[in-house]
Amino acid sequence: MGRFFNREAAIVALALLVVGVVCALFVEVPVWAKVAIPVTVLAVLHWPLTISFQDWILEVYTERGCFDRALTLALAIREAAMDRKSRQRAALNVAFVHMARGDYANALANLRTIVVTSEQAAYKAVIDGLTGYCFAQQGGDLVEAERLVQSSLTAQPEEANFVTFLSLIRLKQGRYEEARALLEKSIALDPDPKDPHPGERAYMMGLILERLGETANARKHLEQASRAGCFFGRKAAEHLRQSGAPESAIVPQ
């Protein structure tokens, strides 16, 4: 029940009490009923609204780089899960937070707790794709990483994130032209710079172009990535510093 006794749950409770009190002030009822209104509003709506608010704010925390708070909340949600479906969804959210903060070992540990059946083809594609992505980021078994990501692409060939994951594998393999083509395809499918994580594709493109000898173009993409903040923004900024870029070109992290 930890997810209902934390900062986010308290915010929802306070908001509901305020709404209840305001409503009570404008209703002509006995005093006892005025007291009962906010209590009833809280009792009826706190549980469902807390769940919805926490799901939303978890994405906001992760997107804005508030990883410590995101992880604390995600773990509380996982521990409070009351059935297998909820636990697996919560484990996936914990994995997402770990991936966003660059902790691929713990992301994999959570992904491995998720059991999918052959009937859950779309869900399996997501888990396989994310697992392959974590393998690739760790620089470990690229053969297995490619097998998993290719399996996901077979199921969902137009999923931009899966195309990005394959581009990452090609980058790790030193197949830079293929990596570039795949990343360009991913961006065409989904131009949102926050996907898969803020600044990640700009950072990847910077590395690819650098390997291809397009130094000026690479720096533009790395500078773009540095403006995204979060994990990949910091990586891009550090890479720019190491390559001798002027501090004026690097967004402070």
Per-residue HEC secondary structure of the chain comes to CHHHCCHHHHHHHHHHHHHHHHHHHCCCCCHHHHHHHHHHHHHHHHHHHHHHHHHHHHHHHHHCCCHHHHHHHHHHHHHHCCCHHHHHHHHHHHHHHHHHCCCHHHHHHHHCCCCCCCCCHHHHHHHHHHHHHHHHHHCCCHHHHHHHHHHHHHHCCCCHHHHHHHHHHHHHHCCHHHHHHHHHHHHHHCCCCCCCCCCHHHHHHHHHHHHCCCHHHHHHHHHHHHCCCHHHHHHHHHHHHHCCCCHHHCCCC
- Residue 2 confidence (pLDDT) above 80: no
Nearest-angstrom CA–CA distance, 213 and 203: 15
Q: What percent of the chain has pLDDT over 90?
A: 78
pLDDT at 1: 52
Average pLDDT over the chain, rounded to an integer: 92
The model carries a pTM of 0.85
pLDDT at 62: 92
